[in-house]
Structure 1
């Protein structure tokens, strides 16, 4: 039996939404990957893009352990294996980039509704608050970049400033 690594990556405009935020993955399969258009077996490279989803294959391996080792080399230390089995019988394992699942912009916006952001907060204060919130989110089991949190906090601060002016 041979094992194949197939990378599935969302490349459309909605990548920060709940539906696609944790979409990208690497699957170890026992079925040889086929190109999107001609359905030809392909063992390395781009398989095609359909409906904003690009597919790539990263080689053929003689064992599941060898395929998993190759995924470690592709993703480094920052990956996680899905606990749930795949709905497809030929998919043996699914790996996702990142140590923790990312939080979507929608969910982050909802979560930040309860965060107090003073209208007079300066940029240094927002950077500190963003770092603290990023740590809190990691403790909750999700990740968001400090930069993204800071951008949201700046927006909330600007909204608070506009409310004071009205």
Structure 2
């Protein structure tokens, strides 16, 4: 499509319209941190002939997606933190074993085998930790999410129970 075509002959798919409007809104905003109020969002939707019900459903879906994104970021942070702890344990224990081997025998012999075999396990841990796609990742995320939700539910029930006892 060229700039020389008459405006009446131009047509766009729904996906193209979304991208064009997204780019236009981004360019119009002088500041990347500019926020729009709900009234402004409603006004834009009205101009685009989008019903209030449809807008509210879209906003609810967007909030749900944002919540899932935040949960996945928390899960990824948890996995990286767990990996760092395991890597630290590996480094400390193997450094100690190598020191004992060096002092006891004047060189490094048996401690290198432990370093190698445990190092392979750490390599697998790296692979599993930083692999953020696939069925195994989804299963690990779902397991973590259920555990996280269970803890949150138990904490809520206990907090209500303690508040009831205080009154």
Q: TM-score, normalised by structure 2?
A: 0.27
Structure with the higher strand share, 1 or 2: 1
Relative contact order, higher structure (CA 8 A, sep 6+): 1
More helix by share: 2
Larger Rg: 1 or 2? 2
